């Protein structure tokens, strides 16, 4: 039975991921060398814009199509979830051959084509082109500063004009590095590596593509003359930019001619360094200074709080243990504080099942985040591998279902003293967070479908995700829950009274809990800005080393804040610490969500349309929920360990 389930699970993973397994490679393992004159073809990704954040297919516009038809590239799970749609294109390059070529001339534009082209141009949509896995770059000058972009615009409207011009001529510059192969052939034998013979250098030499740049411009050509040419016919080169009167307008009954030029240029850049130009972050010094300053301030504040806290608790314990039994009994009657709630501190909290479920999901999310960022920090998830980060997160989340089931069921056994109902807890743990995410994404997906966006998930992917969920994640969570029933429950050091103690009225209790989230938020809000910018402004995020440090620091601060708040509530004779310990650190998610809304209003002011804003808010809600579960789990588990240790250290009858 178990062998059959394992085989079925592995089969589902293979069927879902096997067409896309090429995404799992290390940076530098897929180096290509090309011969002189060898043909290579550019690919096109979805059209994207920071104005609407709705991706659309490249061929949704009247662009030239390949001679052998449109063919989609195999994409991994992460690429599909991000809305990437990579297709082949008619743009052909012959290595180290400079040429100016004709592509095609469209039919006369109808009203629908004109409206769509103008709308995409005004919404600042970019054409994303890829050559040998390198995105195309372009450069613009603004106030004497050179700005780098990926992709080129669909069209543009000159300043002081209402007319829209289409980009129909591209001047490509391809940077190549001459690669000389080795002069010896090395074979592996059973006794080690042996040099067999010398080989011809030409068998391994060639050209590596290390850069891909474009200068886009609009050129009006005579469609009658151009249509006589065949695809890849020779045309005269163009000097960009072109005067307005010689540019191609977007208007009805116009026939648009598409052409391009290719220039190859030798470069000293080596293949392993070709992504460095894309990963240059603007304001790097500010980034370094801000992160280090934030880390120092948070470490300093957390250190002070922790030292004060240790001294206070240590003093209470020392005073208490130095007294004899009679004095301890008198002290219990006279003093107020955490010693008076000894009979209620481990009383089962309200909604205990929900707490167990959220702790299980939080352990799963936190484990996924730490492992993913750890591997990314050490270069295992390069930006060159599109979608790999998201794919890795999904796979890790599924595999960690066994940890989630174990954590939730063991906590359930600890609170209830029995394993009865563990299957329900495991099922709920497997479905709580993924179910919420599935509902949100399905709702957003219907909105994307209505707009014909490539960001909409295909039905096949829905079934694939459901298969992974119910065939991998749910069984692993149930298996973890089964292991949780076999684990020894945590024994409480004190007995719980039958009648709960009355709690003094404290009106500021939950306000204090919510306010405690500001300290953990201070550790990540700077990094959060860079992450949001990389997601919504089309920038590459690569400083995972910083992110790993920030994540570890966030865990430490969440633990300290939650423990301090728990101690304060116990001193106030409030024994209902369970949920407050969870939300003391989990409240950071509230500030993350509010900051996301602030970013939407003040940094994404160009984001237009209710659909785009709804998408943004929906994704921000899902991320904030995940952060709440992860940070809340850290706070709760630390507080639980602290309370258990505190009342284990004092012998109270």
Could you read off the pLDDT of 387-434 as tens digits, one per residue?
Answer: 788 888 899 999 999 999 999 999 999 988 888 889 999 999 999 999
Q: Is the pTM of this model over 0.85?
A: no
At 118-135, the pLDDT tens digits run 999 988 899 999 998 889
β-strands 165-166, 169-179 pairing: unpaired
Mean pLDDT of the chain: 80
> Once rounded to an integer, what is the mean pLDDT over residues 473-494?
90
Q: Which of 563, 482, 486 is nearest to 520 (CA)?
A: 563
Q: In what order do the strands lie in the sheet with 99-105?
A: 99-105, 257-266, 169-179, 206-217, 137-142, 145-150
Q: In this prediction, what percent of the chain has a pLDDT beyond 90?
A: 32
Q: What is the pLDDT of residue 622?
A: 94
β-strands 126-127, 152-153 pairing: antiparallel
Residue 608: pLDDT band by 50, 70, 90 thresholds? low
**Residue 590 predicted with pLDDT over 80:** yes
For the chain, the structural domain boundaries read: 38-181+203-278, 281-315+506-532+545-652, 350-488
Phi-psi sector, 177: left (phi>0), alpha (psi -120 to 50), beta: beta
Q: What's the number of CA atoms in the CB half-sphere (13 Å) around residue 89?
A: 25
Q: In this prediction, what percent of the chain has a pLDDT beyond 70?
A: 79
User: Which of 340-354, 434-448, 517-531 is modeled with the greatest confidence?
Assistant: 434-448
**Residue 531 predicted with pLDDT over 90:** no
Contacts of 589 (CB under 8 A, 6+ apart): 517, 624, 625, 627, 628, 631, 632
User: Which of 255-259, 510-514, 569-573 is modeled with the greatest confidence?
Assistant: 255-259
How many other C-beta atoms can be found within 10 angstroms of the C-beta atom of residue 606? Answer: 13
Q: Which of 424, 422, 399, 430 is nearest to 487 (CA)?
A: 422
Dihedrals φ, ψ of 402, to 5°?
-65, -35
């Amino acid at each position: 039975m178990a062998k059959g389930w394992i085989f079925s699970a592995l089969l589902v993973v293979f069927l879902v991921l096997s067409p896309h397994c090429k995404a799992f490679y290390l940076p530098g393992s897929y180096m290509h060398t090309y011969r002189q004159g060898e043909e290579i073809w550019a690919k096109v990704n979805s059209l994207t814009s920071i104005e609407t954040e709705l991706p659309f297919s490249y061929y949704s516009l009247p662009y030239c199509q390949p001679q052998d038809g449109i063919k989609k590239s195999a994409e991994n799970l992460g690429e599909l979830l991000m809305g990437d749609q990579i297709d082949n294109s008619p743009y052909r390059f012959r290595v180290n051959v400079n040429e100016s070529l004709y592509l095609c001339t469209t039919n006369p534009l109808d009203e629908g084509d004109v409206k769509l082209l103008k709308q995409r141009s005004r919404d600042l949509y970019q054409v994303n082109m890829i050559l040998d896995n390198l995105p195309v770059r372009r450069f613009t000058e603004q106030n004497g500063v050179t700005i780098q972009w990926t992709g080129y615009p669909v069209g543009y409207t000159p300043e002081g004009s209402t007319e829209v011009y289409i980009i129909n001529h591209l001047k490509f510059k391809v940077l190549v590095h001459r690669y000389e192969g080795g002069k010896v052939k090395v074979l592996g034998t059973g006794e080690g590596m042996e040099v067999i013979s010398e080989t011809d250098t030409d068998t391994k030499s060639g050209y590596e593509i290390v850069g891909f740049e474009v200068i886009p411009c609009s050129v009006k050509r005579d469609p009658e003359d151009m249509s006589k040419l065949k695809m890849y016919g020779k045309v005269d080169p163009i000097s960009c930019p072109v005067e307005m009167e010689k540019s191609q307008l977007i208007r009805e009954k116009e026939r648009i001619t598409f052409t391009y030029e290719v220039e190859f240029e030798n470069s000293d850049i080596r293949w392993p360094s070709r992504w460095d130009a894309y990963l240059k972050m603007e304001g790097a010094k500010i980034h370094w200074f801000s992160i280090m300053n934030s880390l120092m301030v948070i470490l300093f504040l957390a250190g002070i709080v922790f030292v004060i806290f240790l001294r206070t608790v240590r003093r209470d314990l020392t005073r208490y243990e130095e007294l004899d039994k009679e004095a301890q009994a008198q002290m219990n009657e006279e003093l107020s504080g955490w010693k008076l709630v000894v009979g209620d501190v481990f009383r089962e909290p309200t909604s205990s099942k929900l707490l167990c479920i959220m702790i299980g999901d939080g352990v799963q999310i936190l484990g996924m985040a730490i492992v993913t960022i750890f591997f990314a920090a050490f270069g295992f998830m390069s930006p060159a591998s599109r979608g790999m980060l998201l794919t890795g997160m999904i796979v890790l989340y599924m595999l960690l279902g066994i940890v989630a089931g174990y954590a939730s069921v063991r906590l359930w056994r600890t609170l209830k003293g029995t394993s009865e109902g563990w299957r329900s807890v495991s099922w709920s743990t497997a479905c709580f967070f993924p179910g919420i995410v599935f509902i949100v994404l399905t709702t957003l997906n219907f909105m994307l479908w209505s707009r014909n966006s490539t960001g909409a998930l295909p039905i096949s992917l829905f079934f694939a995700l459901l298969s992974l969920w119910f065939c991998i994640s749910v069984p692993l969570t149930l298996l973890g829950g089964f292991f949780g029933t076999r684990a020894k429950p945590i024994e409480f050091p004190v007995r719980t009274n039958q009648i709960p103690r009355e709690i003094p009225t404290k009106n500021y209790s939950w306000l204090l809990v919510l306010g405690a989230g500001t300290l953990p938020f201070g550790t990540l809000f700077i990094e959060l800005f860079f992450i949001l910018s990389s997601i919504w402004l089309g920038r590459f995020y690569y400083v995972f080393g910083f992110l790993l440090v920030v994540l570890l620091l966030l865990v430490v601060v969440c633990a300290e804040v939650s423990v301090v708040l728990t101690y304060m509530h116990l001193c106030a004779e409030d024994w209902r610490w369970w949920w407050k310990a969870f939300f003391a650190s989990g409240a950071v998610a509230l500030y993350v969500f509010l900051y996301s809304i602030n970013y939407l209003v003040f940094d994404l002011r160009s984001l237009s349309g209710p659909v785009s804003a709804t998408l943004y808010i929906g994704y921000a809600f899902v991320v904030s929920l995940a952060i709440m579960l992860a940070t809340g789990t850290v706070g709760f588990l630390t507080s639980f360990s602290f309370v258990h240790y505190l009342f284990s250290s004092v012998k109270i009858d």
